[in-house]
Amino acid sequence: MTTPRLIIPDVSEWQGFVEWETVARTHPAAIIRVYNGSRADQQFARNRAQAHEHGIHALGLYAYLSPEHDIEHQAAAFVSLVGHLQPGEWPILDYEASGLHSADIMPWFVHVSAALHGHEAAADPWLYTGEYLYRSQNLGKVTTLPAKRTWLAAYGAHEPDEGHALWQYTSHGSIAGVHGNVDLSVFHGTLQQLQTLTHAAPAPAPHPGPTSHPRHPFPAGIHPGGSKPSARPLQQALKVTGWMAKDVKESDQYGPKTQESVGGFNRKHGLNSHGVKWDTAIGPHGWALLMTLAYGPA
């Protein structure tokens, strides 16, 4: 009997404009870069929103660790960009830059774990590194990280002997929806097994629930294209949950960027009304769910 396996692409701004609708047809899991050691990946916000919108069910979020900047500052920047982990997501530390030391890993892990575990369903961070670096720095023992949270790169015909959950076997892969070369990794198992391993639980089914939230009550009358009442609380919550890019300027206007973000959120959570495929209006139940994801239960 053949063991099931998933081929998982990982992308960053270097891949440019990824066609996530095409990718998701054949790859239900993917990994995207959040932070490059000094700034946000230029495609992070779009990649995250589009991957969720088009049906990526397990989404790894990684930060490239730089030896040139304070480790805890980089961890804090990663947490700030991610906000809350959305259903299906798990965090990853990319440890490969020259000049790093094994002692740099745990401060990042501790900061990120403490920050993200303040929210429900937060996943423990994984470690990505090269097979040689993993072996030469004895990272398995130094970090006491279990193999089930280890992702190793080794480009060749033979899978690494060291324990791992993912094997990145090429940096010159090719898949539909990504232009040019793309890194590819293999997971020996099913999507459901990967979700269990990463705690990347599927999104919960929508339920009526409350129609407001004590921190930001639903502003009756808010609608796409309008300016009264203010759209700022909506934009702030969209940023916290990762549905809107951090650098979008907040305003009273429920403009195109807000509409695009709300449309993706509604579609992800099954909140489109009256069969509308891309509903850009935020309703009372959608508002309550968004505020709960952003700020915790009412």
In 118-231, alpha helices (H): 131-136, 139-143, 191-198
d(CA 297, CA 121): 13
Residues 183 and 249 in one domain: no
Report which of 42, 49, 55, 56 is spatially closest to residue 12, judged by C-alpha positions. Answer: 42
Q: Which amino acid is at 201?
A: A
Beta bridge partners of 215: none
Q: Is residue 222 part of a domain?
A: no
Token digits of residue 37: 């050691």
Number of independent structural domains in the chain: 2
Residues in the chain with pLDDT values less than 50? 120-121, 201-207
247 in the same domain as 167 = no
157 with 290, same domain?
Answer: no
Instruction: Say if residue 39 is in the same domain as residue 120.
Output: yes
For residue 30, tell me if it sits in a domain: yes
Residue 37 domain-assigned (yes or no): yes
Please name the residues in contact with 14: beta carbons below 8 A apart, sequence gap of 6 or more: none
What is the token pair recorded at 13?
């701004």
Give which of 94, 50, 18 is closest to 260, Cα–Cα: 50
Task: Note the pLDDT of residue 74.
Answer: 95
Return the pLDDT at 141: 87
Residue 203, both tokens = 């999104």
Residue 278's domain spans which residues?
A: 232-295
pLDDT value of residue 283? 86
Output the pLDDT for position 276: 67
* Residue 9 pLDDT: 98
We report the CATH number of the domain holding residue 114 as: 3.20.20.80
pLDDT in tens, 205-224: 444 556 777 778 888 888 88
Q: Are 35 and 161 contained in the same domain?
A: yes
Residues 12 and 151 in one domain: yes
Angstrom CA distances, 180 to 18, 177, 247, 248, stand at 10, 10, 28, 29
Q: What pLDDT is attached to residue 8?
A: 98
Distance between CA atoms of 127 and 123, rounded to whole angstroms?
13
Report pLDDT for 274: 58
1 in a structural domain: no
pLDDT computed for residue 118 by the predictor: 59
